[in-house]
Amino acid sequence: MLTSLSIKNYALIDDLQTDFNKGFTIITGETGAGKSILLGALSLILGKRADLSSLKDDSQKCIIEAVFDVTNYNLQAVYQQEDLDYEAQTIIRREILPSGKSRAFVNDSPVTLSSLQTLCDRLIDIHSQHQTTQLTDDGFQFQVIDALAEVEEPLVAYKVQLKSYKSLQKELKKLEDFQAEANKEHEYNTFLLQELIDAKLVDGELESLEEEYETLDNIEAIKEKIGASHQLLSDEQIGGLAILTEVKANFSKIASFSQKYKELYDRIDSSFIELYDIFTEIEASEDALEADPNRLEVVNNRLQLLHNLKKKHLVLDISELIKIQNALDEKVGITENLDKNIQKLKTSIAKQETELNALAKIIHSNRSAVIPTLKSQLETLLSELGMPNAQFSINLKAASTFHSNGKDDLEFLFTANKGGSFKALNKAASGGELSRIMLAIKSVLSKYMQLPTIMFDEIDTGVSGEISNKMGAIMKQMSKSMQVFAITHLPQVAAKGDTHLKVYKEDINHITTTNLIAITGEDRIVEIAQMLGGKEVSASAIAHAKELLN
């Protein structure tokens, strides 16, 4: 419920601070006193766009702040969805700066107008005779039916299932589109993959093949140089081994004479061992060397194949070719398994569709069951509101597709006259009739669900005293379970309020200002008497006012 409202520097208001009570609050005042200014300020709290014309003093910023007690509204999920800090006493503030920039805050955290509207739609509902488009809104009509049908549990299950169902459908569409595209490339990809498989790629193979090719291609030169080197080392008179053997023998005889000679001997011995090892390896290499034209051709062909593959796939080494092979293998594999995956998805979708239909059937059944009750309640209320011939035709039909709230199409048709044809609400009822229909609907809803604070803005315009008395009684009854405001010119309605606020203008230093005060006791009697008979209050008007208040 709305517990307080503060308005600074808005339209004709300098600084206004008002607290509100639960129950039924009446707001009255002369035409032009500024009741619409209050609604304008509240509209800004609800997320309406603002402009500089809202500022009373365009050199100062405008601040509008409302405090709501949301304890009984179960709005934690909405706060979480909009990334807001949940507070049972929620403070909503709008600021309009002289620059024209507007800012919004919820519990001192900046918010977008979209988030503000999402939250405030659950906090306060402003309804005037000119704001009845909601009646023809499909979502609102379902809200009315569902309040009586008690379908919250199956609806939650349905919405969870529908989200999963649509996700699977999206996945299926993606796979089918991919399949259509993949089928075009499948044959070529398969060819490329097979070519790489046949190549039996080995990472690092290219380097070893190139080394082998260089050896085989230069075999004669290699044999010549290795042979000469072998001869230089093995010659019995001048060979490197023979010379080093003699040097080693000389130092072995003097190594014991000093540490210096011993170290030299050890180094010579180590060099001899290393040189001998080199000699044996050269000897083995010389024995192993043999021209092999066939192997040279094989290596050359293999190198040519690998270089061609590198060039074809625009890569620099075998490892990149292997990556391409793996990617092609995965792509070809996916394409070949698509039919299986698509069929699996279709099976899952069919299963979910069956479950959705079962939930939709429960929802439809519950809705159908309460239509006679809703129709009866609305027609009874409208009869009391001066529309004795009002009739509803509420048609609920099973739809062919899944909607966000079930599998139903809903149509509210109405006629205000006997024998009249049923038409859509906005075509079958006048503005005043639509207001009474909305009041009747809100009254019924208040019995079945926790509604936000509602403000009726002169919806009693143009109705008789007897009917306005009933309208006031209905609003009074609604206020037992919710907070209700009524801006009215009718004393019969005003007298029903638990709290009475009066909007008035006053001129201070040649400047007109709008104010709001709570009136009680004699002041309230006088206010209602003036609503009955004008400024000149008669004794009979006072008596009538007291009668209404009692």
If phi > 0 it is left, if psi is from -120 to 50 it is alpha, else beta; for residue 38 that is alpha
pLDDT level of residue 129 (50, 70, 90 thresholds): low
Q: Which of 47, 43, 40 is nearest to 114 (CA)?
A: 47
- pTM score of the predicted model: 0.69
pLDDT at 292 > cutoff 80: no
CB-CB contact of 52 with 15 (8 Å): no
Rounded CA gap, 469 and 492, in Å?
Answer: 5
CA-to-CA dists, residue 38 to 41, 66, 100, 120, 460, angstroms: 5, 12, 20, 16, 18
CA atoms within 13 A on the CB side of 406: 28
Tell me the CATH number for domain 1-123+452-518: 3.40.50.300
Rounded CA gap, 112 and 539, in Å?
Answer: 55
User: What does the pLDDT read at residue 130?
Assistant: 59
Tens-digit pLDDT profile for residues 303-334: 888 899 989 899 888 889 999 999 888 877 77
Q: Which of 371, 427, 429, 416 is nearest to 397 (CA)?
A: 371
Rounded CA gap, 46 and 114, in Å?
Answer: 10
SS3 of residue 74 by DSSP:
coil
- Phi/psi for 121 (5° steps) reads -60, -25
User: What does the pLDDT read at residue 403?
Assistant: 95
CA-to-CA dists, residue 496 to 23, 459, 536, angstroms: 11, 15, 23
Q: 13-19 and 2-10: which strand pairing?
A: antiparallel
DSSP string for 151-220? -HHHHHHHHHHHHHHHHHHHHHHHHHHHHHHHHHHHHHHHHHHHHHHHTT--TTHHHHHHHHHHHHHTHH
Tens-digit pLDDT profile for residues 138-157: 888 999 999 999 899 999 99
Two tokens, residue 485: 């405001």
SS3 helix, strand, coil % of the chain, rounded to 5?
60, 20, 25
Two tokens, residue 257: 């004479």
Query: What mean pLDDT is reported for the chain?
Result: 88
Q: Which of 78, 77, 75, 102 is nearest to 89 (CA)?
A: 75
pLDDT at 382 > cutoff 90: yes
Q: Which of 428, 398, 431 is nearest to 413 (CA)?
A: 428
CB-CB contact of 548 with 526 (8 Å): no
User: What does the pLDDT read at residue 229?
Assistant: 76
Domain layout of the chain by residue ranges? 1-123+452-518, 205-316
Rounded CA gap, 102 and 113, in Å?
Answer: 10
User: What does the pLDDT read at residue 430?
Assistant: 79
Q: What is the mean pLDDT of residues 1-26?
A: 93
User: Between the ranges 175-184, 222-231, 486-495, where is the mean pLDDT highest?
Assistant: 486-495
* Residue 511 amino acid letter: I
User: What does the pLDDT read at residue 253?
Assistant: 83
> Exposure string (b/e) for 418-457, b if CB count within 10 Å is 16 or more?
eeeeeeebeebbeebbbbbbbbbbbbbbbebeebbbbbbb
Tens-digit pLDDT profile for residues 91-108: 999 999 998 889 999 999
Structure letter (DSSP) for residue 58:
T
Contacts of 528 (CB under 8 A, 6+ apart): 491, 494, 495, 545, 548, 549
